[in-house]
Amino acid sequence: MQELILVEKFSKLFSEAGFCDEIKQKQIIEEMNDLLGKMDKEEFESSLSKELFDQINTMIEEKKISEGNAFILLKEIGYQNSLRVFPNYNYKYSTLKKRFDKMIYDEERIIKGGNETFIVDLSECYLLLRNFFQFLPLQLVSVCVPCLLKIATNKKENEKTQKEVELALMALCNVGILVEVEKDFHQKEITEIIEYHQEHRNLTHLAYQLAWSFLIDRFFRDESLEALISDKLHFTREATQELEEMSKRVDWKAKGKTEENKRMKEVNIMLKWICTINVFFVSFQMWKEEYFGLIDYFISLCRSSRAYEQRISGKCMVLFRRAIELNDVSVYDLLKRGVFKQISEEIYLKTMNDTTARMCLESFFDLSKRLKGIMTNEVDEMKKKEIKRELFDMLEEEGHEDMIPSFHATISLRFNKYRVEFSLNFEDYFVNV
């Protein structure tokens, strides 16, 4: 019964909201928003039913809730939704979504007659609640993105402004990687936001991550941004500093609901950073020595968090696998820094899920491809044999010396589908010992 207290209180306040004046209604909605921030994952999911979104739509139609107050509630729902990376399928099939779809396509109101506040409110609600596979209307990109960027460039440091900046940046990030946004709509403004924060530290930790996320997502489509991101704005340095600072604040052993919720918010921001870093690593053209700093940090993070938060280890494994795939990254450097040892240790964890297990095994799969071929930076045959022997010794010490041959045997069906040619000769991957 204890677990349902917040859900029941939220439901009770919502039922009261339709029977009071606009000022009182706003106060009730602010109480509801406060409750949303205190809910755990199960409570949050339980509160956001399809019926709730349908009722909000009905209340707007019957003028039992003002459009402005509805926006306040829905923006907070969307904010918490995006922070927790919770796919809200209940909203997707609600009448409220149909209402917002219709409003977004109302060109007369959006482009000709809509005031800026309305455009920002509607854009934030629409983007924060949207499904990532949902088609994004052209007018939302061409009209709303510049409005949201204008909000995001506000440099005031009071709490109200910082929350508005967070909301605007989070909505912009929900535009998605695959949606093309013209440089005129983003590059100058987002660069200014990042540079100003680097000098004045005016953003929250979350807002700073979101600013980077929006820019990195554009990089996914525009490789010309690499020099700006890497050399001028120093992405990897900034990301490493932010993650290290957050790691020091996280209480992995937190007990009690309040402490656990605080830990989960920090973890969710860290996960967002790691996902953004992974998008960057997929998109860049040249490996730089400074990127090894991130590798070192993630090895340390995996070890400190793996007993408490498996999601972090899973995201780190994606980054390790990407490094292993790159021909201009030295396998020897990865070996010496402990990447393969970390991956092999991960496989023994009782908390490991299927996704992380697959990523670990496929990392060894990619490693075996590197060892079978001619490795860039390691073309000398004696050097290759030295690397193979050290890897074999490490795997033998961990009890994984048969991993690659057995992995080949079990994965053959999957890779036969894609016609991957693969030798099962053990000598191709490790020297005979």
Q: Is 72 a domain residue?
A: yes
Whole-angstrom distance, CA of residue 87 vs CA of residue 90? 9
pLDDT in tens, 158-196: 999 999 999 999 999 999 887 888 888 789 999 999 999
3-state secondary structure (DSSP) of residue 66 = coil
Higher confidence at residue 255 or residue 64?
64
3 state SS of 204: coil
What per-residue confidence (pLDDT) applies to 432? Answer: 35
Arithmetic mean of pLDDT, 277-291: 87
* Rounded mean pLDDT, 267-281: 92
Q: pLDDT tens across 90-147, in order?
A: 998 999 999 998 888 876 676 665 688 888 999 999 999 987 666 788 778 888 899 9
| pLDDT over 50 at 216, yes or no | yes
Q: At residue 409, does pLDDT exceed 70?
A: no
Q: Does residue 312 lie within any of the structural domains?
A: no
In a domain? residue 279: no
Q: Is 36 domain-assigned?
A: yes
- Is 32 domain-assigned? yes
The reply to whether 19 falls in a domain is yes
Q: Long-range CB contacts (< 8 A, 24+ apart) of 100-106? A: 100/125, 100/126, 100/129, 104/137, 104/139, 104/140, 105/137, 105/139
Which value, to the nearest 10 degrees, does the dihedral of the CA atoms of residues 134, 139, 142, 144 take?
-80
Residue 375 has pLDDT above 60, yes or no: no
Which of the four pLDDT bands, split at 50, 70 and 90, describes residue 329? confident
C-alpha span between 330 and 354 (Å, rounded)? 28
Range of the domain at 47: 1-134
Across 130-134, 173-177, 294-298, 376-380, least confident range: 376-380
188 inside domain: no
Q: Is residue 96 part of a domain?
A: yes
pLDDT at 418 over 60: no
Residue 163 sits at the vertex; the CA angle it makes with 180 and 51, to the nearest 5 degrees, is 80
Q: How many domains does the chain have?
A: 1
